[in-house]
Structure 1
Amino acid sequence: MRKCDVDLPEPNLLKERMRRLAALDLILCEEDWLCVHQYMPDWAEGVEVGKIDNGAGDDLFVVFAQGGVIVKGFDHESPYSPHAQDEYGVWPGMYEQVPEALLQYVQDEALSTEDVTFCYWRIQGDEHWYSGEYERPEGMDDGSEFLLGYLNDTADSYAEWAKSYFEVEVDLPAVRQLIEGGRTSAANIAKLNPERNIEDVLGQLIELGVTIE
């Protein structure tokens, strides 16, 4: 295996970022299927899953388990895609070195195992993210930079993205409170989306683990 060559946050930071981004999408859009950022805190016992789905055939799953974290991404236009091979199949070696304790999670049908163009993992206690040792032809894009770019790490970057995607004006201070502090309030929810049913949103945010002031 080899050290991951993309910039991924520490596991706990990644978990919180995905949770907070999912909370913001949830506030801005009541249609789950239109939310790009999603988070499932009770996917299985002791397992949480963050997801990015841009609605254009590309997705990213991050499984947070007791033994570590595994990231599986799929860019449907990448030459690493099974659909781009002469014979349909996962790119040779993609999963070969993934620890079994983590591989079991991406083998779940809900995570579309074969739809993969990059995979990273980090065992509990490790200091680095890793990927498999497989052939990486020069110039071939696996889509990791593209999909990981949805993990907006500042309030400004999220607000700019959300304004374009949801086609709404976004209250930056309300976004900042969630992005930076992991908390929100009924007043800020109303600022972000005046048409949203506050009680419905509050219940969903509490399930996500967001602090309500």
Structure 2
Amino acid sequence: MSTVYEAVARFPDPAELRLHLRALAALDAAMAADPQFCLYTFGAGWGPGEEAALMDNGSGDDFSAVFSPAGVLVRGFDHESAMSPYGRDDEEVWPGVVDEVPDALRPLLDDAAFLDPGLGVPRVTVCLWRETGDTAWRAGSAIDFPPGHGSPDGSGCLFHLLTDRSPETVRAHFEDYYERPVPLDAVCHVLAGRPMTPAITAALRPAGVR
């Protein structure tokens, strides 16, 4: 079973996570003919001193990673998860998922961008966080996951490019999504944080590709 506890053990430190998410957004933007089809985006100015990395697959699954002076909060939502508020009689977040989010990071979770306007609760099936100065990622300590699911909270699918950050895995993802070959050396270049040169841009989206 793949859950948030596996993700917690495999997430990089916040600085590396930020750079990796920026690289995924840069790769996506370079390969997409139309920005509306990008899955990954990264934006500064989310709030005072805040940046946000977002992933939305357009099919009801999404995650956010908000970087703030108080720390980082990662929230994910898998619309098919048995832990979705929409599938519960009380329409509440699954017990234990967000109960222990520190007060300093709670506003990042309760941002209107991540709330269901009808239910008034966060759209969340998985959550992890790391306060500034902490040495490890945290998640709810006593989540009772529903049985019979390979990834009951959706973490295995949502975070697969965050827990396995190898260039080969990233390339395979974008080749599958854009249905065309993607040069590994260009992926390595961007993941290393190097500048997006015209040559790298041309390699990621050759002339004539729509």
TM-score normalised over the length of structure 1: 0.84
> Partner residue of 2:77?
74
Matches within 5 A, 1:117-136: 117-136=125-144
Q: 2:14 aligns with which of 6, 11, 19?
A: 11
| 2:153 maps to 1:145 | no
Worse-matched range after superposition: 150-159 or 21-30: 150-159
**SS class of match (2:199):** helix
Conserved 8 A contact 2:97-2:143 = no
Aligned mates of 1:64, 1:86 — CA distance in 2: 33
- Paired-residue identity, %: 35
Q: Structure 1 unaligned runs (5+)?
A: 197-213
> Partner residue of 1:63?
66
Deviation of 1:30 after TM superposition, in Å, equals: 3.7
> Partner residue of 1:155?
167
CA deviations on 1:92-119 (whole Å, 9 max, x unpaired) are: 3332221121110121111235210011
Higher relative contact order (CA 8 A, sep 6+): 2
Letter in 2 for 1:32: P
**SS class of match (2:91):** coil
**SS class of match (2:192):** helix
Aligned mates of 2:6, 2:182 — CA distance in 1: 33
**SS class of match (2:185):** helix
TM-score normalised over the length of structure 2: 0.85
Aligned mates of 1:57, 1:137 — CA distance in 2: 21
Cα-Cα RMSD: 1.9
The 1:84/1:182 distance shift into structure 2, 3 A limit, reads farther
Conserved 8 A contact 1:52-1:150 = no
Conserved 8 A contact 1:4-1:129 = no
The 1:167/1:98 distance shift into structure 2, 3 A limit, reads same
Deviation of 1:157 after TM superposition, in Å, equals: 1.4
> Partner residue of 2:188?
176
Conserved 8 A contact 2:25-2:40 = yes
> Partner residue of 2:95?
92
Conserved 8 A contact 1:174-1:184 = no
Conserved 8 A contact 2:73-2:105 = yes
Worse-matched range after superposition: 17-26 or 180-189: 180-189
> Partner residue of 2:107?
104
The 1:87/1:137 distance shift into structure 2, 3 A limit, reads same
Deviation of 1:19 after TM superposition, in Å, equals: 0.3
Aligned residue pairs, count:
194
